Amino acid sequence: MNDSLQKAFFAVIALSLSCIAIELVPVSRQAAYWNRCLDSTLVWIDEAPDLNQWSATAKESLAVGVCNGAVYEPRLITDKSQL
């Protein structure tokens, strides 16, 4: 009796871990996509001549906004007089 109960618990544990692993696949794909977006956006920002004087924190903040979809301007405005 005790042996069969232990086997049933192991089966439930194995099934639960399998379900969790299957559920994590889309999350890991989205995270990989977002990381690629962040890396390529940071490279693009580093190549922009107008943004050379920005700090690394400001550049990373802009890249996070771009990858999250929070940047609505089709072009970057770096001069406050253009606002």
Enter the pTM of the model: 0.65
What are the structure tokens assigned to 26, written together? 């889309």
| Cβ(67)–Cβ(38) below 8 Å | yes
For 16-75, give the DSSP string. Answer: HHHHHHHHHHHHHHHHHHHHHHHHHHHHHHHH-GGGTTS-HHHHHHHHHHHHHT----SS
Count of alpha carbons within 13 angstroms of residue 53, beta-carbon side:
3
The tens digit of pLDDT for each residue in 19-74 reads 999 999 999 999 999 999 999 999 988 888 888 888 889 899 889 988 988 866 65
